[in-house]
Amino acid sequence: MQRLSLKAKLWAAVALMWVSLLAMAVWGAWAQRDTMLAERRAGLTHVVESGLSLAKYYAGRAERGEISVPEAQKLAREHIGAIRYDGDNYFGILNSQRVIVLNSVNPKLEGKDMSQFRDPSGKLMFSDIVAAARTDDPFVTYLWPKPGSDKPVEKISRVGAYSPWDWYLTTGVYVDDINAAFVGALLRWGAMLTVIGLAVSGVMLLIIRNVQQSLGGEPEYAADIATRIADGDLLTQVRLRAGDSGSLLFAMQRMQANLQQMIGRIRGGTSAITLAAREIAEGNTDLSSRTEQQAAALEETASSMEELTSTVRQNADNARQASQLAENASAIAVRGGQVVDQVVATMEGISHSSSKVVDIIAVIDGIAFQTNILALNAAVEAARAGEQGRGFAVVAGEVRTLAQRSAAAAKEIKELIEASNGRVQDGSVLVAQAGQTMHDVVQAVRRVTDIMGEISAASEEQSRGIEQVGRAITQMDEVTQQNAALVEQAAAAAASMEDQAHLLDQAVAAFRMATEHSQVDAPQRAVTSAAVARQRLAA
């Protein structure tokens, strides 16, 4: 088969198609015949079951005593013998001795022993009928003439046994119409598939011509050319037919030429890729070093920011404590001012009481003066009384002495109280000044408290701001480290690209071409791009 040409192989496929179509026609007609036989078998089974039902019905009447058994058998034969279906098909009955019990078409056969009867093909048909009734497939095929004809025709019969009466009911149908239908179906299938085969053959003829034109030659030659190109041989000359401009071989010739050009450009470009990869790797190495330095500087800055954050946080805590102390001092100053106010009120009360005492002393002084006057008058009157008033005069003298002493004491008390009142007034003035001073101190302490609160709030805000700056620097450090890792990955990728360029160069070297050339533009562009990238990295 491998030595055949493509044309021979395609015509062999056409021949195989014709054989397949013929087999399909036979199979389709035979399947139709099997379907018709299955339908006939099903119909015969139903008819036999109907005949057995009649026999069972009359046997039941006999068992119930309505009629005798011979009468029941007679009635059953009459009714079964009268059955006709599908035109002239009928029932027959025989017993296990192969004796005909009923033949409604040819009553002359009734009562005859048919055990040795053979059909034209030599079958003991009645023995086969009795034997088939005892199997799982109670059908039998034999040759038997149609009613009114002496010509034997193939017939298929269904057998049903009724054991109580030793009856074997049989009925069948002729299959000559099925065979005729089989031949007709075979002819129809053959005609239809012949038309289809002719159409397919015409299409195959067009396909064969088209395939030959599309290939441009034998497939083996095209496969050999493709194998040579796949092995890297681009020097093989592809033979084409005259005027061929659209076949597979023509396309392979163009592919060979294009591959030569492409491989040449690839060879020229691999060196540029290698150079560019080396430049990128060097730039990435430099950038990686500077990125690591930047990361180290950011780590130091982050450490300093942490120390500054700690210091600012400590200042904020101290400012908060100072603010608390100022608030406590303000409260103490307020309480001192309240005490001074109470002292001022007390001094005013003392001054008022001293004024009242002075008034009382003045009253006492007046009483002492009047007492002195009365004592003087009493002494004058006692002198006038003479001897009788001497004792009274002594008493009046004592009273006068006491009045004078009282007046002197009252005068001294008044002087002391006046002096004390003056000192109290001076103290009141000093206490008032002290109260004003305490009020000023309270106001100053409150201002200091407010300032300390503002300092504390500013310190906290500064602490939060420095913490945010610290976090930002930490994030910058992380990003810088990630950038350093990415730069290392890029350097590794550049090194891998350089290795791949070497491998590509080695792979391209496997192709054998007529001329070795390289494209200058592509390497120049690659080198220029690599230089620009290195300058950007250096910047």
Q: How far apart are CA 221 and CA 254, in angstroms?
A: 16
What is the rounded (10 degree) CA torsion for 494, 497, 501, 503?
A: 130
* Cα separations in angstroms, 498 against 274, 484, 492: 5, 21, 10
Residue 445, pLDDT score = 65
- The per-residue pLDDT for 527 is 45
- Taking CA 141 as the corner, what is the angle to CA 138 and CA 144, rounded to the nearest 5 degrees? 130
Based on its alpha-carbon atoms, the radius of gyration of the chain, rounded to whole angstroms, reads 73
Q: What single-letter DSSP state applies at residue 231?
A: T
How far, in Å, CA of 498 to CA of 162, rounded?
Answer: 98
- How many CA atoms does the CB half-sphere of 439 hold within 13 Å? 7
| pLDDT of res. 5 | 65
d(CA 483, CA 477) in angstroms, rounded, equals 10
The whole-number pLDDT of residue 539 equals 53
* Residues 421 and 354: beta-carbon distance below 8 Å: yes
- 159 Ramachandran zone, left/alpha/beta (phi>0; psi -120 to 50): beta
- Please list, in sequence order, all residues whose beta carbon lies within 8 angstroms of the beta carbon of residue 410, skipping any fewer than 6 positions away: 361, 364, 365, 368
Residue extents of the structural domains in the chain: 27-186, 261-521
pLDDT at residue 300 in the model? 78
Q: In what order do the strands lie in the sheet with 91-94?
A: 100-103, 91-94, 167-174, 152-162, 139-145
Residue 141, phi-psi category: left (phi > 0), alpha (psi -120 to 50), beta (remainder): beta
Do residues 335 and 391 make contact, with C-beta atoms less than 8 angstroms apart? Answer: no
CATH class of 27-186: alpha beta
Beta bridge pairs of residue 159: 170
Q: Which amino acid is at 378?
A: A
CATH architecture of the domain covering 261-521: Orthogonal Bundle (1.10)
Place of tokens 């009359």: 58
HSE, CB side, 13 Å, CA atoms: give it for residue 291: 20
Contact partners, residue 529, CB within 8 Å, separation at least 6? 276
Phi, psi of 89 (to 5 degrees): -75, 145
| Ranges of the chain whose pLDDT falls below 50 | 516-524, 526-527, 530, 533, 537
Q: Are 491 and 282 in contact (CB under 8 A)?
A: no
Interatomic CA distance for residues 361 and 373, integer angstroms: 18
pLDDT of residue 475: 78
Helix 248-385 and helix 219-230, axial crossing angle in degrees, nearest 10: 50
As given in the structure block, the two tokens for residue 284 are 């990435």
pLDDT at residue 537 in the model:
46
Residues in CB range of 512: below 8 A, 6 or more apart? 232, 233, 234, 235
